[in-house]
Amino acid sequence: MGKIEDKIWQMAEPLVVENGMELIEVEYVKEGAEWYLRLFLDKDSETGIDLDDCELISRALSDLLEVEDPITQAYRLEVSSPGIERPLKRTKDFVRFQGEKVQVKTFSEVDGRKQFIGILGETTEEIVTVDVDGTIIQIPREKVSKANLVWEF
């Protein structure tokens, strides 16, 4: 995460948590000529995040951003659910989805590969364990560039 994402995370997380949700990811990206500030939220419920949740956080954060003004250029604020292929960032994300199918990409090779698709096993602050077709692979956390759930039909 860059400086702006870190700043927005610090501003948004208390707001999100106080409304019974969890901040999954903050993204600040340029697409074409426009900048986008995206927040991805989740919550522990059958339905997850709905439109009302997104609207609530979007309005409250917009007000906060107007006061604090951490971003100088024009941008669009988008608040949404992380979707079915939700990213896994923190240890608690990995622990919550243990037993689910995941894809893990690494910065450098682990056992001769940089991508692993399998069942998520035990995770610690140091190691992510993935069962790839019966082979248990232990991936150092500092080598993980991206990890997310994999959805199958």
- The whole-model pTM stands at 0.75
**Mean pLDDT across 75-80:** 93
Domains of the chain are 3-80 (3.30.300.70), 91-149 (2.30.30.100)
Which has the minimum average pLDDT: 45-49, 103-107, 110-114, 129-133? 45-49
> pLDDT at residue 46 above 90?
no
Q: What is the pLDDT, as a whole number, of residue 126? A: 95
How far apart are alpha carbons 35 and 78 in whole angstroms?
Answer: 11
